[in-house]
Structure formats: C-alpha cells, structure tokens
C-alpha cells in the first residue's frame, strides 16, 4: 500500500511539473519571436511573394497562431519561409510565441 501511495504521489508531482513547464509564457515568447519580427513586425512588409501581404500577428487568438505554426511545421501549410521557421519550433516554443503575439494589441504593440 505504501508503495502505491508513493508511486501515485510521484506521478502527481511529475504531472504538475510537466504542466507547469508546458504553460505558455508571453515573455519567453517575446524572446523566441525575434526572428518572426523581421517580417511580421515591419509595417507594410511584403515577402518574396508579391501578391501576399505579411499578416499582422498582434492580437490574434493564441490557439489560431499555435494551430497555424503547427500546420507549417507539419507541412500542411505551404509557405516555404514559414515552413522552414516552424520546423525548428517545439510545442513549448509555439505556445510561448502564440501567447506573446496574442497578448499584443492588434496594432502590434
């Protein structure tokens, strides 16, 4: 019985620790989003595809941003630059970056 309680306690502690680490953090996201700002932080910026404006990310819903980044990472979205950027991101990176942009105003500040 003591072993079962001990094992359950360890599992609970480990679960809390993993969840605490997994929580999105806008400040970590700010640091991780430096590369994003090269395009998404410049007013009126266009990318290499002239018919496509670079979308503003500030104020977007975090879940939408996370889903989009995961889509690029998985190859479900076709933009080559975004696919290359997202390919290097972990789930935690994506959650942090999404939280950062979501916390911004729609004007990007």
Q: What is the CATH number of the domain that holds 61?
A: 1.10.760.10
Count of domains forming the chain: 1
Nearest of 52, 48, 83 to residue 69 by alpha carbon: 83
67 burial type by CB count under 10 A (0-12 exposed, 13-18 middle, 19+ buried): middle
Answer yes or no: is 46 within a domain.
Answer: yes
Cα distance between residue 37 and residue 30, in whole Å: 10
Nearest of 10, 6, 79 to residue 48 by alpha carbon: 79
Answer yes or no: is 109 within a domain.
Answer: no
Structure tokens at 61: 């819903």
What pLDDT digit, counting tens, does each position of 74-108 carry?
A: 999 999 999 999 999 999 999 999 999 999 976 55
Answer yes or no: is 13 within a domain.
Answer: no
100 burial type by CB count under 10 A (0-12 exposed, 13-18 middle, 19+ buried): buried
Task: Look at residue 49 and tell me whether its pLDDT is greater than 50.
Answer: yes
Answer yes or no: is 1 within a domain.
Answer: no
Answer yes or no: is 36 within a domain.
Answer: yes
Answer yes or no: is 31 within a domain.
Answer: yes
Answer yes or no: is 7 within a domain.
Answer: no
Answer yes or no: is 108 within a domain.
Answer: no
Beta-bridge partner residues of 53: 46
Can you give the residue range of the structural domain that contains 93?
A: 24-103
- Which pLDDT belongs to residue 2? 53
């Amino acid at each position: 019985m003591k072993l079962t309680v001990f094992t359950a306690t360890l599992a609970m502690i480990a679960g809390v620790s993993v969840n605490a680490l997994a929580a999105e953090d806008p400040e970590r996201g700010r640091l991780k989003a430096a590369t994003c700002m090269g395009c998404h932080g410049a007013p009126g910026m266009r990318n290499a595809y002239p018919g496509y404006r670079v979308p503003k990310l500030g104020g977007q819903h975090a879940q939408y941003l996370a889903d989009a980044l995961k889509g690029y990472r998985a190859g479900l979205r076709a933009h080559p630059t975004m696919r290359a950027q997202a390919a290097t991101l972990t789930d935690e990176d994506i959650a942090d970056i999404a939280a950062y942009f979501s916390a911004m105003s729609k004007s990007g500040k």
